[in-house]
Amino acid sequence: MTIDLATLAGCIAALPAGRRVVALAGPPAAGKSTTAEALARSVTELGRPAQVVPMDGFHLDNAALDALGLRARKGAPETFDAAGLIRLVAALRAGGAVAYPTFDRAADATVPDGGQFAADIALVEGNYLLLDEDPWRDLHPMWDLSVMIDVSEATLRDRLIDRWTGHGFAPDAALAKAEGNDLPNARRVLRDSITPDLRLSTAGETP
């Protein structure tokens, strides 16, 4: 079922009492971070304190990627510490305050214990939360609700090119960046993720 953000907020707020963990998945440039923050505010306003927990803090560091020959593929599933993310989600489910790593984009580096979670609803956002591959499959039974942001590949392509031109790349170079790594990762999410409980329609996309 495809729904809008207000309806999704109501569904999350209506989850059974206690700590609940929700997956908000989507490909690169789907608008996960912005959508997750808006969703957290809406759910909190409905009486269930909610907080976003980004997957980005589990990027492997650049030295590790260099050693693995994966620096050019940064952002692909194999460039994340999936086992660490699985441990974090298990800790979130257990309740209580939980520290989690964040990602400093300016420094291109993770920040250990950069965030602290102590809310009722954990909105975990990331590309590969529903990926139907090991070890990512270990996450699937941990979600109280799983959501995929519905965005077309054409929209993703335009957003990714805009992202890279915004970082100072010429249009041709921006297209090459998008086609070389981001879009292959996006296609992997779209093609190889399990069916979510719900799909979220965002601005510019038709339900």
Residue 207 lies in a domain: no
Give the tokens for residue 72: 């050019």
Share of the chain above pLDDT 70, in %: 98
Look at the chain and report how many structural domains it folds into: 1
Provide the domain limits for residue 156.
Answer: 2-201
Average pLDDT over residues 110-127: 95
**Model pTM score:** 0.90
Give the tokens for residue 130: 């529903």
Q: Is 31 left (phi over 0), alpha (psi -120 to 50) or beta?
A: left
CATH number at residue 56: 3.40.50.300
39-82: pLDDT as tens digits: 999 999 999 999 999 999 999 998 888 898 888 888 899 999 99
CB atoms within 10 A of CB 102: 15
Residue 185 lies in a domain: yes
The distance of Cα 87 from the centroid of its chain, to the nearest Å, equals 16
Say if residues 134 and 144 touch (Cβ distance below 8 Å): no
pLDDT category at 207 given cuts 50, 70, 90 is very low
**How far is residue 104's CA from residue 28's CA, in Å, rounded to a whole number?**
17
Residue 148 lies in a domain: yes
Residue 149 has pLDDT above 70, yes or no: yes
Give the tokens for residue 83: 């086992």
**How far is residue 47's CA from residue 136's CA, in Å, rounded to a whole number?**
31
pLDDT category at 173 given cuts 50, 70, 90 is confident
Phi/psi for 90 (5° steps) reads -60, -40
